[in-house]
Chain A
Amino acid sequence: MAYFDMRQKRSGNRTTFLGVLLGVVFIYFIYSIRTAPAGTSDPSLRSQSALVAENPLSPPTSGFRKQQKVEGSDAVLPPPPVVHYQLNNLTASAFPALNNEKILILTPLARFYPEYWSNLVALNYPHQHISLGFITPKTKEGNAATAALQEAIRKTQSGPQGQRFQSVTILRQDFDPPITSQDEKERHKMENQKERRASMARARNSLLFTTIGPHTSWVLWLDSDIIETPPTLIQDLASHDKAIIVPNCYQRYIDDKGQEGVRPYDYNSWRDSDIAQEMASQMGPDEILLEGYAEMPTYRTLMAMSAKVGADRDERRLMPLDGVGGTALLVKAEVHRDGAMFPPFPFYHLIETEGFAKMAKRLHFDAFGLPDYFVYHYNE
């Protein structure tokens, strides 16, 4: 082992081998780029790509292939393909997972709660059939919520395959919310309600009509402050096979004695009463009936109050409803497609989700509630 032996060792084996390997990899890379589009002719891949659109103009309920930037400004991309959608074959059945039915979860997002997201990710309906849609106001709070949301999405969508949602759409509202404060007390003041809920209705409609795609079978409205639901929420609600179905929205709290308890939260799900009808008939065309205010006793049958605890409790017990709340609400897509939306104006003296139930009724769809099936609202 003469230390001054400066001759190059004959280590050509390794170099040549590496060279050849690199060459093969390089040629393979070039080749794979050239044949990448042709690769989708494989039938197994095509079925997968049915869920993946070719271009970003596609319905937001599916992912899309990133488009290669073409060098040069005058380079012309091939025109988007003609896509046929068979809406006759679309089902919304009691067993959505068996029929691979697509669910669109829509959330008007004012604040981002990590508990909301973790609850969403914990839903055990196959995530590749779930698309998410969010709309956030363009306020400081909305910006913060959007940033937090994007971070959460980034984590989930780059996480394990089974956790990833089919697609996510974030919209920024094109109108200003009437009240900047999301403060609980301010928000629930009666005089602010009409304006607030009209704005909310507009946000819901904007979200709904731009994200509902030709593949969507069900729309689940889930408020951003619903932080606890059973993981089987979608399957459970869909199993009743109703056009519109609402679980009971409760809230966990700690009472004065420091004990945990639950109390009803959403009073917008109700069955109509004669008194309320009478009140409505005496109202001006632009006035609305509101629920849960002492100034306006409507004597409606509230679902929030119909819950049974103990041995009586039956999660599958149904009650017909005339007004629904939007905290959690599962709707067959055909209801929305027929035109049922959230009226941002007094519709039969009802507004937003309650007006939606009325409009659906006018289109011959009935709403039902599950008084003993709970979802939980965030406690501020």
Chain B
Amino acid sequence: MNRHHAFANGHAANKKRDDDGYRPYSDRADLENKYIWGMHDLVEDEKPEAAFGRRFEPRKKALHSRSRLIRLGLMALGTIALIIYFIFPSALQGSLLSSADTSLEQSDIETLRYYDLTDAQGSSVGWHREERVLLCTPLRDAAPHLPMFFAHLRNFTYPHRLIDLAFLVSDSKDNTEELLSQMLEAQQADPDPSQHYGEISVIHKDFGQAVSQDFESRHGFAAQASRRKLMARARNWLLSAALRPYHSWVYWRDADVETCPYTVIEDLMRHDKDITVPNIWRPLPDWLGGEQPYDLNSWQESETAMALAETLDEDAVIVEGYAEYATWRPHLAYLRDPYGDPDVEMELDGVGGVSILAKARVFRAGVHFPAFSFERHAETEGFGKMARRMGFSVIGLPHYTVWHLYEPSVDDIRHMEEMEAEKREREKQEKENAAVAKKIQDEFRPVNSQWEEDKQAIAGEAEEANSQSDAKEETRKNEGMKKTDIRQGDGTEELSAKDDGDTAAEGEKVKDKKKSNKAGAKKPKVAAEPREDEDDE
């Protein structure tokens, strides 16, 4: 009996022989094989496995249900935690979130910045090359000018996102600070994304100026040197805090510019010079001539001024536009021709600060606004001088004009008050004259025409009288009596009464009118007519 299980179905009868080539151990008995390979249970093969019978019964009921319970519990816990987490995020924030957040923050912070300054040289077509411009504006008690300044800001055609704004608010006693931040927030929240500016820094620093900002003290000669030095400090603080390695251009702009081309940044940039300034004028009231050069700080050096500088003390500051220092310098402002080519350039040595476009590399090289007497000049004039000293090009555009706000000086204000008083006086006079004339007209009847008519009437009557009876004459007398009665009444009656003269010749009519006068019903109507006639005359 073949007890080998492989032969039971007969299929494997020839197996050994068939697989000879492939199975090196096939000559061994299966039992042997199974022994070798550790399949020791061959004999028990056909026995039903104990587990088979209980196949569908849960093997370890207690444990199974426990694990399910645990699973269910965990899921429930997780869901509850999530629900709590979403509904009351604050409940978990203290423990869970903050730790996670700080770790997130640490990995999220970049501390290294790398800049190649050759990328920020500044070119004539900065807006094509995405060159960033820093717009610097020093402010002091400038709240009244801010709305005007922001109107200019909105209108700049240079891409706003490429412009970074920097303001220095110093020693302001009005609400400059609040108004400024309010207007800046509004600007950045503008629905039009092209209105948004780049980085905006507002720097608060008080320098403790004793000099006040009104026109007279600002422009008085004595205060100039110390005032200019303080202004220079303010400008330097602003620039040093706001200039970044990625800036290609710096545009200095005062808040009190009234009229300025929207394209001013591009227009100045196009010249591709290191420092470019436009001509600054200001409009004037008509009685002062309509317009006037404003910024006299843009000039070319002259021999006289050089000689003058030699004679001065080390700390003295030459200020332009004052009779005390006659420098005979050619000023940019005086060279303006309203119809001239706006692209004409002029080399300068000193510049004014109302509107300066400079390449950032000028400031990077160290040129600043000297807060000391640099070659006898300070602030923007010293800035121009220092830039020239370092070999930078400084130009002005004599026929490209930016209009500064006109702030009347004390003299002007006095003059204007005088003019105002004069005007008021004149107006009063005129009014009085008119009143008198009217009074005259109202109170005294113009009788010239009346006299003419009366004359004619008298002439006519005289003729009539010759041919008429005495009886009629008597009625006329009565009439005259009544007329005077009426005249003692109001003006309208008077007028209507005087009308009678016209028709005096026609007795019938006159009587009718008399009646109506007495009745008073038609009075106003009648009164109006002759008056119009009179006016026409």
Residues of A within 8 A of B (CB): 2, 5, 10, 12-13, 16-17, 20, 23-24, 27-28, 31-32, 35-36, 39, 42, 44-45, 48-49, 52, 55-60, 63-66, 76, 79-88, 138, 150, 153-154, 157, 161, 164-174, 201-202, 205-206, 208-214, 336-339, 341-345, 359, 362-363
Contact = CB atoms under 8 A, between A and B. Distances in A.
Given A16-B71, A338-B236, A339-B236, A345 B371 contact: no
A206 B111 contact: no
B512 interface: no
Contacts of A210: 115, 117, 243-245, 247, 364
A56 B110 contact: yes
Contacts of B114: 150, 169-170
B335 interface: no
Contacts of B108: 65-66
Contacts of A10: 64
Contacts of A339: 232-233, 236, 368-372
B151 interface: no
B201 A66 contact: no
A85 B241 contact: yes
B237 A45 contact: no
B200 A83 contact: yes
A18 B133 CA distance: 55
Interface in B403-435: none
B109 A66 contact: yes
Contacts of A88: 204-206
A172 B115 contact: yes
B71 A164 contact: no
Interface string B137-156: 00000000000000000000
Nearest to B185: A82
B202 A82 contact: yes
Contacts of A343: 366
Contact of B188 (A49, A79, A209): A79
Contacts of B164: 57
A336 to B, nearest CB: 6
B97 interface: yes
B240 A212 contact: yes
18 contacts: A13-B67, A23-B78, A39-B101, A42-B93, A44-B98, A52-B105, A57-B199, A57-B246, A60-B113, A63-B109, A63-B110, A87-B237, A138-B118, A150-B112, A150-B114, A202-B366, A205-B366, A345-B390
Interface of B: 49, 51, 64, 67, 70-71, 74-75, 78, 81-82, 85-86, 89, 93, 97-98, 100-102, 104-106, 108-118, 120-121, 161, 164, 181, 184-185, 188, 193, 196-206, 232-233, 236-237, 239-241, 243-247, 361, 363-366, 368-373, 389-390
Contacts of B121: 174
Contacts of B200: 80-83
Contacts, number: 221
Given A84-B181, A172-B117, A337-B240, A20 B78 contact: yes
Contacts of A39: 93, 97-98, 101
Instruction: Name the 8 nearest CB pairs between A and B, nearest first.
Output: A205-B366, A79-B196, A174-B117, A57-B199, A362-B372, A87-B205, A341-B366, A206-B364
A84 B115 contact: no
Nearest to B202: A84
Contacts of B241: 59, 85, 87, 212-214, 337
Contacts of B245: 60, 169, 171, 210-211
Nearest to B96: A28
B478 to A, nearest CB: 96
A88 B203 CA distance: 9
A201 B372 contact: no
A118 B245 CA distance: 27
Centre residue among A28, A166, A205, A338 by max chain B CB count within 10 A: A338
A45 B101 contact: yes
Given A17-B74, A214-B241, A209 B184 contact: no
Contacts of A48: 102, 105
Contacts of A150: 112, 114
B117 A171 contact: yes
Nearest to B72: A16
B97 A32 contact: yes
A12 B72 CA distance: 12
Contacts of B361: 174, 206
Contact of A165 (B97, B111, B181, B205): B111
Contacts of B89: 35
B112 A170 contact: yes
Contacts of A208: 240
B438 to A, nearest CB: 62
Nearest to B160: A79
B118 to A, nearest CB: 5
B117 A173 contact: yes
Centre residue among B67, B108, B366 by max chain A CB count within 10 A: B366
Nearest to B199: A57
Nearest to B101: A39
A20 B75 contact: yes
Nearest to B77: A20
Given A32-B97, A87-B203, 11 more contacts: A17-B74, A31-B86, A59-B244, A65-B108, A168-B113, A169-B115, A170-B114, A172-B117, A173-B117, A174-B118, A209-B364
Centre residue among B117, B121, B198 by max chain A CB count within 10 A: B117
Contacts of B196: 79
A362 B375 CA distance: 12
A341 B106 CA distance: 36
B204 A82 contact: no
B111 A338 contact: no
Nearest to A154: B112
A280 B108 CA distance: 55
B201 A214 contact: yes
Contacts of A17: 71, 74
A171 B247 CA distance: 13
Nearest to A65: B108
Contact of B198 (A27, A57, A87, A171): A57
A56 B236 contact: no
A211 B368 CA distance: 16
B244 A205 contact: no
A55 B102 CA distance: 18
B221 to A, nearest CB: 23
